[in-house]
Amino acid sequence: MKSGRTSWLVAGLIALALIFPQFVTNKYYLNILIMSGIWSIVASSLNLVLGYTGQVNLAHGAFFGIGAYASALMMLKLHLNFWLALPLAAALAGFFGFLIGLPALRTRGSYFAIGTLCFNIIVTLIIDRWEGLTEGARGLMGIPGPAPIPIPWIGPIAFKTLTAQYYLVLGFLFLTLFAMKRILNSLVGRTFRAIRGNEELAEAVGIPAMRVKLLSFTTSCFFAGIGGVLYASYIGFLSPELTDYHVSFDSLVYIMIGGVGTMAGPIIGTLLFVTIPETLHVAAEYRLFVYGLILILMIIYLPRGIVGGIGSLMGKKTKGVP
Amino acid sequence: MSAILKAGGLSRFFGGLAAVMDLDFEVNAGEILSLIGPNGAGKTTVFNLITGTLLPTRGRLQFFEKEITGLRPHDTAALGIARTFQTTSLFPDETVLDTLIVGFRCRTRMGLWDALLKSGRARGEEEKSRRKALETLSFIGLAERASELARNIPQEAQKRLAVGLALVTEPKLLLLDEPMGGLTEEENAGMIRLIRKIRGQGISILLIEHKMKVVMKISDRIVVLNYGRKIAQGTPTEVSQNSEVIEAYLGAGYAE
């Protein structure tokens, strides 16, 4: 009953997302939604390792940045096509995740969080200093957008308009969520949750915790990389700050607010945090203050975020009915 | 009877303290062997050494003639050694059924790509896991609690679930660490029935338990530890008449 209602709701929201640009052509709003879409991909991918596997990764900005920079460099310096650079850059982000995961995932809890945070700082420093490759603080400019996809009979699909960019990002968001759902509903996803719930017990029932954590982490970094590629080609400009720990913390906040370990949580959190400050024109200097305040209040009163809160409310209601 | 687990000269030191010292013992196929002794005698350490949670300082372990010294817990579990923990250890946010499904993971073969593509193998293994979990669920007598969260069920049911979780991994040897701790007299009887039923399936059991009445009733053999050393072994009758055991553990009043 409840799952039936949820799937109708999801179908409705997907339909709404699909027809949205037909009603709203305002560039400003479309831009906000495109950014929300990109950050939703990043936050959802972080949620896989953080929300479902219980590993507080604070290096997500680095993997987002590696995807973004790798794709930008491939397109600018090697003149690769966007559609080739995208999987390569995402795979590279995943590969870095694998390399970092090998030592970092041997630590637990706050040690893992601190270790990954250090890695993030190192990545940003390297990107900032390695001017020969990354142009350092000047940043990378003129990153091309996606090449048109030629389709016989209909003609090529170009990505010149904002509407087309919107659909591109939406498509990748759906792809990301679809992949997450498939993984989480499988036996593989169950092992992720087992490690979140009780790592020692998971080991005791024959789940190789290290290998499973590494799989979750690598997959998560791969999708963060996709977010980075989309960002780079949409904005067309990259600078080292885009890889730094603020990105990691932003994604973390989106998840915490929306609901850790839920499918909808990261998207709701991202939508709120990307849209509201933009539309209310909250001054940037107050942003961190407001973030902090909201985060503290949420952790005290709604530790499982908006989605978790709604879930427990509905749970209470249904419990009352015999 | 043939020994399935052999420990030879097994020792573990914590700093200068010997938690387990030169321990030799065997678990035979299909038997219930109890490990008893005062608190701090090293019983749980022996479990941790067998499963690979701790590495032995010295000595070796063989399981079905295969060297298992130095293997990690997930490897020993895959080989067929399952355990429960002294403080009931579960996945608190999973339902009873989901707990058992994930417990069967080590007997399934499917990976990330199978999950993403929802391959025939993925669906087949999921179906197999669900069947196995349901079967184990009725075996441990928790069928009517299938959809409750593990943390919400009563303590006695949690103890059963912990045993079920070990059992669903299809072990050949089951290590139970105080399965009756905190249970009432009546609940003890239920747990004894469950343990006997498990042994009836041909699974050997190594049991740590403080409730002597239960131990004497259920065990085929008993190994007694004191300060990490084996001070006696034998049938319940032999052990309960051993003067050293009475002095170290059972207490002077026990002999009567």
Cβ <8 Å between B92 and A219? no
Cβ <8 Å between A204 and B94? no
Closest by alpha carbon to A221, among A99, A84, A80? Answer: A99
Q: Which two tokens stand for residue B50?
A: 């067998």
- Cα B154–Cα B160–Cα B161 angle in degrees, nearest 5: 85
| Residues paired with residue B61 on neighbouring β-strands, in sequence order | B7
A23-58 pLDDT, tens digit per residue, is: 887 888 899 899 999 999 999 999 999 999 999 999
* Average pLDDT value over all residues in chain B: 93
Which pLDDT does position A218 carry in this prediction?
97
H helix runs in chain B, sequence order: 43-51, 73-79, 96-103, 112-117, 120-139, 155-167, 185-200, 212-218, 236-240, 243-245
> pTM of the predicted model, to two decimals?
0.91
Is the confidence at residue A322, as pLDDT, over 50?
no
Is the confidence at residue A135, as pLDDT, over 90?
no
Which pLDDT does position A289 carry in this prediction?
78
Per-residue CA distances from B204 to A238, B27, B34, B180 (Å): 63, 7, 11, 18
Residue range A189-195: average pLDDT?
96
Residues of chain B contacting residue A187, judged by C-beta atoms under 8 Å apart: 101-102, 105, 108, 110, 115, 122, 125-126, 129
Q: Which two tokens stand for residue A33?
A: 């939604």
Q: Which two tokens stand for residue A230?
A: 């989309």
B98-152 pLDDT, tens digit per residue, is: 999 999 999 999 999 999 999 999 999 999 999 999 999 999 999 999 999 999 9
Closest by alpha carbon to A41, among A302, A308, A286, A247? Answer: A247
Using the Cα atoms of residue A213, residue A218, residue A223 and residue A225 in order, give the sign of their dihedral. positive
Q: Give which of A205, A212, A219 to mutate to test B binding, by max B Cβ within 10 Å.
A: A205
* Average pLDDT value over all residues in chain A: 88
Is the confidence at residue A10, as pLDDT, over 70?
yes
Which pLDDT does position A280 carry in this prediction?
61
Is the confidence at residue B50, as pLDDT, over 70?
yes
pLDDT tier for residue B252 given thresholds of 50, 70 and 90:
low
Per-residue CA distances from B128 to A71, A318, B40, B98 (Å): 42, 31, 42, 13
Residue range A119-141: average pLDDT?
90
Smallest CA–CA distance from A190 into chain B, residue:
B102
Which residues touch B126 (CB under 8 Å, ≥6 apart)? A186, A187
Structural domain B1-80+171-256, CATH architecture:
3-Layer(aba) Sandwich (3.40)
Alpha carbon distance B91, B101 (integer Å): 12
A98-117 pLDDT, tens digit per residue, is: 999 999 999 988 899 999 99
Q: How far is B166 from chain A (nearest CA, A)?
A: 7
pLDDT tier for residue B245 given thresholds of 50, 70 and 90:
confident
| Residue owning tokens 């006696």 | B232
- Coil, strand or helix: which one is B249? helix
The residues of chain B that CATH labels 3.40.50.300 are 1-80+171-256
Residue range B157-186: average pLDDT?
95
Is the confidence at residue A131, as pLDDT, over 90?
no
Percent of chain B whose predicted confidence (pLDDT) is above 70? 98
Residue range A139-164: average pLDDT?
82
Percent of chain A whose predicted confidence (pLDDT) is above 90? 56
Is the confidence at residue A286, as pLDDT, over 80?
no
A212-269 pLDDT, tens digit per residue, is: 999 999 999 999 999 999 999 999 999 998 898 888 988 998 998 888 888 999 999 9
Cβ <8 Å between B115 and A201? no
Which pLDDT does position A315 carry in this prediction?
65
pLDDT tier for residue B254 given thresholds of 50, 70 and 90:
low
- Coil, strand or helix: which one is B205? strand
Which pLDDT does position B27 carry in this prediction?
97
Alpha carbon distance A211, A160 (integer Å): 42
- Cβ-nearest to A193 among B73, B85, B94: B94
Closest by alpha carbon to B231, among B31, B42, B52? Answer: B42
Note the ipTM here.
0.93
Which pLDDT does position A318 carry in this prediction?
41
A to B CB pairs, distance under 8 Å: 105
Amino acid found at A185: N
Which pLDDT does position A281 carry in this prediction?
62
- Cβ-nearest to A198 among B91, B108, B166: B91
Residues of chain B contacting residue A223, judged by C-beta atoms under 8 Å apart: none
Cβ <8 Å between B98 and A190? yes
